[in-house]
Amino acid sequence: METASRTEPHLLVADLRRIFGARLDAVVAYGGRPSHWSRTLALVGSLTMDDLTALAAAAPAWHGRGIATPLVLPRVEFAKALDAFPVEYGEIIDTHTVLAGTDPFVGVDIAPADLRRALETRTASHLLHLRENFIEMGGRPTMVEALVRESAPGFQSLLRRMARLDGTSIDTPLDLAQWAAARAGLDARIVSDVLAVANEPAPAVDAVRLFPEYLDTVEALLHLIDRWPVS
């Protein structure tokens, strides 16, 4: 967990405090570097229609400052849904930075069996998405490049969750590629190229040429997850 600095999300925090008052338990940012958070989560004591109306009224000002609409959840609802969304919520837990309140994830664990099952579903969906969209796009290079760029962050998330299932928390693309080669038997070069597409604004990677190997790598990952033992 990283330490928050004074950035644009503090405007969001002020609005959330105004709307929820003492019902605001915690606000966390996740999904990026400390100065480039892409998403936020607010955990609250309760969430009413009046709250939703107030949030909707505040949203245009957030968007005008480049702040994405936060995910707002009652804290009890979040805790109960850990088994339903172990991949998505696991990413939040592992990459979060506290902006307000106390760290809400201390002592929170995701069951390995829930994570393995969700990873299999998500990876199968990722593979189907790549195949179907390639067909839909008629194999046109510019659209295939866009497909690789749009899907690469999801692939990175799957690998990070897989490493977590293996008992390892990984922060950097280099470490993730090395883990994928050593523990998952994937080609480190291919994984590194996909992660470069996910993390670099102008990666020196030909996404169109990469696509067939990327597709094979996702298929290999799916087979691996299917056989992965869970104690």
Asked if 61 and 143 sit in the same domain, the reply is no
Distance CA 205, CA 193 (A): 6
Range of the domain at 79: 2-101
- Which of 66, 101, 136 is the C-terminal boundary of a domain? 101
Judged against a pLDDT cut of 50, whether residue 202 lies above it is answered with yes
Half-sphere exposure of 43 (CA within 13 A, CB side): 22
Distance CA 222, CA 187 (A): 14
Asked if 124 and 207 sit in the same domain, the reply is yes
pLDDT digits (tens, 9 = 90+) for 54-104: 999 999 999 898 888 999 999 999 988 888 888 888 888 888 889 999 999
83 by Cβ neighbours in 10 Å (0-12 / 13-18 / 19+) ranks as: middle
Judged against a pLDDT cut of 80, whether residue 36 lies above it is answered with no
Q: At what angle do helices 173-183 and 141-165 cross, to 10 degrees?
A: 70
Domain-embedded: residue 106: no
Domain-embedded: residue 84: yes
Domain-embedded: residue 8: yes
- Which of 82, 101, 120 is the C-terminal boundary of a domain? 101
Judged against a pLDDT cut of 90, whether residue 206 lies above it is answered with yes
> 100 phi and psi, to 5 degrees?
-155, 150
Distance CA 12, CA 186 (A): 41
Q: What is the mean pLDDT of the chain?
A: 89
Domain-embedded: residue 107: no
**pLDDT for position 230:** 77
Do 126 and 158 contact (CB within 8 A), yes or no?
yes
Judged against a pLDDT cut of 70, whether residue 5 lies above it is answered with no
Do 25 and 45 contact (CB within 8 A), yes or no?
yes
Distance CA 162, CA 185 (A): 13
Domain-embedded: residue 208: yes
CATH number at residue 204: 1.20.120
Q: How many domains does the chain have?
A: 2
Least confident of 16-25, 76-85, 217-226: 76-85
**pLDDT for position 109:** 82
**The residue to which tokens 């480039």 are assigned:** 36
pTM given for the model = 0.74
Judged against a pLDDT cut of 50, whether residue 4 lies above it is answered with no
pLDDT digits (tens, 9 = 90+) for 105-144: 988 888 899 999 999 999 999 999 999 999 999 989 999 9
Asked if 119 and 178 sit in the same domain, the reply is yes
Asked if 176 and 152 sit in the same domain, the reply is yes
